[in-house]
Chains A and B, each alone.
Chain A
Amino acid sequence: MSTPKIELRDVHKTFGSNRVLRGVNLSIAPSESMVIIGGSGTGKSVTIKSVLGLVKPDIGMVLVDGKDVRKQKREPLLDKFGMLFQGGALFDSLRVWENVAFRVLRSKSTDECRELAIEKLRRVGLGPDTADRFPAELSGGMQKRVGLARAIATSPEIIFFDEPTTGLDPIMSDVINDLIRELVVELKCTAMTITHDMTSVRKIADKVAMLHEGVIQWTGPVDDLDTCGNAYVDQFIHGRADGPIEALR
């Protein structure tokens, strides 16, 4: 069995009195698309941020390519990652092409950066006329696409997608889901997505992990999702208020 691309071993994280992660164990194989599902506030974003080093686990270990991230040099490690943030997180003061080519702005000439940005924008379905606009001038769907173009700009080995379809209409959501799937296959990269959107899950995922109360309750292939027999998964995918996941009323 090959070394997992990403592995979380017994990861714990507490903020004040809130124990968000209580021993997360998760393994993602190279070129696999893993989708983490779970209710709001169950620690999905904290899990992704733990891998990126934006949040430091209290206990446990995060491994990328079999090596503990704490023992790896930060910049080369981060160069392996691309990330699409929930709200896009585009830099307001920079033009779209500068956002897309941000990682290479200092190492390449302006013309090369622009060219790279326009090529990546085209890949996500945006024309070159978008390049000189500011993020605030774009619609939500276009901002997501620009965020996607930025995430794939340097063809990273691992891409994280944080709620990629939140705030989009169903048609635009479907377009973004298709794009994500195409790009993951095309770049042969490892993908980790967190979402509530079951349509996204079925389109994007090879494997699914259900996170609840700070631990992974179930993980398995997306095809087994409907027949896994896990009560948490069953309640979540059918959107029922009754079940082991307590819903506030």
Chain B
Amino acid sequence: MAALSALHGFVAGIGAAVLGLCQSIGAVTLFAIKGVLAILVPPWYLRELFRQIMKIGFYSLPVVGLTAVATGGVLALQIFIGGSRFNAESVVASIVAIGMVRELGPVLGGLVVAGRVSAAIAAEIGTMRVTEQIDALTTLSTNPFKYLVAPRLVAGVLTMPILVAVADIIGIMGGYLVGVNRLGFNGATYLRNTMDFLTFGDVASGLVKAAVFGFIITLMGCFHGYNSGRGAQGVGRATTNAVVSAMVLILAFDYLLTELFFST
């Protein structure tokens, strides 16, 4: 009898978790649809959009650049060490370029921006929820989705590809610096190998990934902030959830998009 009861509890637990997951996915999907509709239908708050482009894009440049230069340098070193085991040191430049552009630029850029931007958006909107600023927006005849969510989603989708393009260049330069100064490659040869092996598809797939990650990062920040619980604890939880869910979704969508782009 006790075993049956334990089994019942176990199955009920699984059921509750699945239902909770479905509910969360439904809530995020509805929120995303409302957000996209808010982008498509006027009024548009262009000043707010410009402000978000600066906050999400421009101010993320230092941290993204730092991550990219370090990653490019380390990648060159690792590939050189690994490649030397079977006399393939010459592939350093092309692998650094392809690795940065296809994968590391968008994913590491996305994860770094998720940590910085999702948290900031969730904290800001969550605080606005707790201090009744979102209610105030409504009473001032302003749709919070159009004023708060739409500009952030657009800014995320527009700025992430630019950030990642910059990260790609800086990452490749990081590899170049290590390759030429530390590993003794010829500078011109290194650059020629970089350019020869990169295709338009490599670059485009990375930038499309970046745009999707930009949407995910801002969506998660807005969703968790908008639905933040009361008080400092509620805002803190919203911030944590925004960062964690953005990172998990970036990794999941990275795999899905890679399958989509490169499966033959």
A86/B132 in contact, CB under 8 A? yes
Measured CB to CB, the closest approach of chain B to A6, in angstroms, equals 15
A83/B141 in contact, CB under 8 A? no
Question: Chain A: which residue is nearest B47 at the CB level?
Answer: A105
In the bound assembly, the distance between CA atoms of A82 and B141 in angstroms comes to: 10
Interface residues on B, range: 10 to 19
Q: Is A232 an interface residue (CB 8 A)?
A: no
In the bound assembly, the distance between CA atoms of A122 and B142 in angstroms comes to: 25
A102/B138 in contact, CB under 8 A? no
In the bound assembly, the distance between CA atoms of A52 and B135 in angstroms comes to: 10
Interface string of B124-139 (1 = CB under 8 A from A): 0001100111011011
Cross-chain contact of A89 among B51, B136, B142 (Cβ < 8 A): B136
A85/B136 in contact, CB under 8 A? yes
Q: Is A238 an interface residue (CB 8 A)?
A: no
B51, B133, B135, B136 — most chain A CB neighbours (10 Å): B136
Question: Chain B: which residue is nearest A103 at the CB level?
Answer: B140
Query: Interface segment, A34-42, A73-81, A189-197, A199-207?
Result: A73-81
B43, B127, B140, B142 — most chain A CB neighbours (10 Å): B140
- For chain A, the count of residues having a C-beta within 8 Å of the partner chain is 23
In the bound assembly, the distance between CA atoms of A204 and B117 in angstroms comes to: 45
In the bound assembly, the distance between CA atoms of A89 and B131 in angstroms comes to: 6
In the bound assembly, the distance between CA atoms of A16 and B156 in angstroms comes to: 36
Measured CB to CB, the closest approach of chain A to B128, in angstroms, equals 8
Interface string of A46-70 (1 = CB under 8 A from B): 0001001110000000000000000
Which residues of B lie under 8 Å from residue A52 when comparing CB positions?
135, 138-139
Cross-chain contact of B138 among A78, A87, A90, A93 (Cβ < 8 A): A78
A-facing residues in B80-98 (Cβ within 8 Å): none
Which residues of A lie under 8 Å from residue B136 when comparing CB positions?
83, 85, 89-91
Cross-chain contact of A49 among B135, B141, B142 (Cβ < 8 A): B135
In the bound assembly, the distance between CA atoms of A153 and B43 in angstroms comes to: 21
Cross-chain contact of B133 among A49, A75, A83, A91 (Cβ < 8 A): A91
Question: Chain A: which residue is nearest B141 at the CB level?
Answer: A78
In the bound assembly, the distance between CA atoms of A103 and B136 in angstroms comes to: 11
B141/A75 in contact, CB under 8 A? yes
In the bound assembly, the distance between CA atoms of A55 and B138 in angstroms comes to: 12
In the bound assembly, the distance between CA atoms of A91 and B148 in angstroms comes to: 12
In the bound assembly, the distance between CA atoms of A85 and B133 in angstroms comes to: 9
Measured CB to CB, the closest approach of chain B to A47, in angstroms, equals 14
Chain A residues in the interface with B (C-beta under 8 A): 49, 52-54, 74-75, 78-79, 81-83, 85-87, 89-93, 102-103, 106, 150
Q: List 15 A-B contacts (CB under 8 A).
A: A52-B138, A54-B139, A78-B141, A85-B136, A87-B132, A89-B132, A89-B135, A89-B136, A91-B133, A91-B136, A93-B51, A102-B140, A102-B142, A103-B141, A106-B43
Chain B residues in the interface with A (C-beta under 8 A): 43, 51, 127-128, 131-133, 135-136, 138-142
